[in-house]
Structure 1
Amino acid sequence: MSPVKEEAEREERIGLHNLRPAPGHRKPRKRVGRGEGSGLGKTAGRGQKGAGSRSGSKDRARFEGGQMPIHMRMRKLRGPHMKKSMPFEMFRTHTQPVNLADLDERFESGAEVTLEAMRAKGLATRRGIAVKVLAKGEITKPLTVHANAFSAAARERIEAAGGTAQLLDG
């Protein structure tokens, strides 16, 4: 390799030792109240009169002009855990959904669909959480489906396809 190429390569290599901001990137700090000639003298960019021109003015980003701030208007969640706090989440369900379209896609006609079989096919993978079969999609095969819960429409469609919907205990 020629010495010229080596020199150019050495200059181009970037490291912590030669990092610099782009030219013109750093600007000097704006110094207000330093005389009329600076353009920001006299009122120092605060305007003539009003609350904003006075000392102690509330010019922070979340100040709302004296109206009740949003963090004080919002509800307070009580209780030991945010997700379980009452009375705001009284109707939370603790089930994992499985759709009919997924069952139809993954199981053969006449198959026995248990929780273990669903888990093996990539459905209902969260252990210890009840499984509810929902009626999203169509089912064309007769399947025997075992689950903790069924929506009314899902049960209807399974039985219409010639299958059975069996509830599990627990």
Structure 2
Amino acid sequence: MRLNDAKPQKGSKKRGRRVGRGIAAGQGASCGLGMRGQNSRSGGGTRPGFEGGQQPLYRRLPKLKGFPLVNRVNYITINVEKLAGLPANSEVTLASLEAAGILTGSNRGLLKILGNGELSVALNVKAAAFTGSARSKIEAAGGSCEVAA
């Protein structure tokens, strides 16, 4: 048997309706499409996704990957293990970390302290945000956390 020998079973294919062939055929004149309107016309109907003039879904949604936040907050993150080398009771800010050489490059954003690593020195940390574990490690070492924008 070859692919060109394959045929549908007898009786499985019905012939199509012959519309517009008079009243006796059952689908005469308007061919079952009604009297007027877009869908009764030749070539009538709309393209897929057309919503009747309303702004369609594919144009309402934001473009490209994901839904970017309009006023996104850019954080510069640093772990507490990086702060361990600083002298005791020093004040830690974004400017002081740049001066110490811990942060390099263009640091545009707010400082956020993350809790990876261990800290044994007491530090006065001023940052925009702290994770829960970072706050607990800084305070356990005898330091203080101050939220400053």
Normalised by the length of structure 1, the TM-score is: 0.45
Q: Which residue of 1 aligns with 2:92?
A: 113
Alpha-carbon distance, 1:149 to partner: 0.6
> Structure 1: which amino acid aligns with 2:121?
K
Matches within 5 A, 1:151-170: 151-169=131-149
Give 3-state SS (helix, strand or coil) of 2:146's partner. Answer: strand
Report the 3-state secondary structure (helix = DSSP H, G, I; strand = E; otherwise coil) of the residue aligned with 1:145.
strand
TM-score by length of 2: 0.51
Matched to 1:149, the amino acid is A
Question: 1:42-121 to 2 correspondence within 5 Å?
Answer: 78-79=62-63, 86-87=66-67, 89=68, 94-105=74-85, 107-121=86-100
CA contact (8 A) 1:109 1:142 kept: yes
Alignment match, 1:122: 101
Larger radius of gyration: 2
SS in 1 for 2:121: coil
* More helix by percentage: 1
C-alpha deviation, 1:102, in angstroms: 0.4
Name structure 1 gaps, 5 residues minimum.
Answer: 1-49, 51-76
* Identity between Structure 1 and Structure 2 (%): 32
Q: How many residues align?
A: 91
Aligned residues of 1:100 and 1:154 also touching (Cα < 8 A): yes
**Whole-angstrom distance in 2 between the partners of 1:124 and 1:147:** 14
Which ranges of structure 2 fall in alignment gaps of 5 or more residues?
A: 4-60
Q: After the TM superposition, which parts of structure 1 deviate over 6 Å for at least 4 consecutive aligned residues?
A: none
Aligned-residue Cα RMSD (Å) equals: 3.1
Question: 2-side partners of 1:109 and 1:127: how far apart?
Answer: 24
- Could you list the per-position Cα deviations for residues 114-153 of structure 1 after superposition, in whole angstroms to 9, with x for gaps in the alignment? 2111111233443331111001110001000011110011
Q: Deviations over 1:80-135 (max 9, x none)?
A: xx5xx543x55x76211111010012x10111112111111233443331111001
Partners of 1:129 and 1:93 lie apart in 2 by: 7
Residue 141, structure 1, aligned to residue 124, structure 2:
no
Q: Identify which of structures 1 and 2 has the higher relative contact order when contacts are C-alpha pairs closer than 8 Å and 6+ apart.
A: 2
